[in-house]
Amino acid sequence: MAQDLAGVTERFVRFTSLTDVLTKFATEVTIDDQAVRDVLRGENTLRVVAERARYEATRHRFVGSLLDGTDDSPHQISFHRWPCGPEVALGEVRDIRAHEINGHTWCTATARWLLTSHVRPFDGDKTINCAWETRVMLRPTAPEGGVTITRSQRAVPPTPADVPHLPKIEHSHKELLHASRVEREVAVAFGRAISERFPGLDAAATEEIIRNITNRQRHHGSDLRNERFLLSGGDTDPV
């Protein structure tokens, strides 16, 4: 390879970071830090961060803290799947730099996010919480575009100082009613399938089976409809 590049090596430059590229091909400009923070707090940005956090947790186990609404002592846990959400709040922002490229201003910054999710959907007692640091790129003049996460670190438990600033999880009354209705419908379907499969089973035993299956779905994310398929002995179609 050295022979192939003989005489032309001076044409090649090795860049080890995005900052090196920007320094070479862009002009550094000043930027209002508050404008950058406003974009990072925007709805589009928070949605992008939540989606990326869900994806990254499947690739690299996240480490977080389990908080109980009645207990201020956090318990550390690791996980590779968010039960729901997560909700996102912006924490610290630092190392903000701005460059002009072809008449457009682009910014890079290090952003620390606070992430929160219920341990199970619509259950407000226990939450999983993380602090997640990322390097982001954005255009302050086009906030609707959100941000691009260029790299990230593995999530860690929030510090005690972070806890008061963790995002709140709020579900509408309509969402709660929908979740309750779906759970009731599933319970009725299970009861019918169990009665058909085990006609001699009494009501108490049937209710216990339903309770165990629904709890497993809440905590481990199994598909309730496939549970019904197994109970039916294969007479219904799995999903």
pLDDT of residue 118: 82
Q: Name which of 27-41, 46-60, 83-97, 195-209 the model is least confident about.
A: 195-209
Q: How much is the pLDDT for 71?
A: 57
CA-based torsion, 147, 46, 51, 88: positive or negative: positive
Given pLDDT bands bounded at 50, 70 and 90, which one contains residue 224?
Answer: very low
Segments of the chain assigned E as strands: 27-29, 62-68, 71-79, 87-101, 104-118, 126-138, 147-152
**In the predicted model, what is the mean pLDDT of residues 136-142?**
86
67-71, 120-124, 153-157, 174-178: least confidently modelled range: 174-178
- Between these two residues, 191 and 106, which has the higher pLDDT value? 106
Dihedral Cα 25, 30, 32, 37, nearest 10 deg? 30
> What percent of the chain has pLDDT above 70?
64
Task: Find the largest Cα–Cα distance for the chain.
Answer: 87
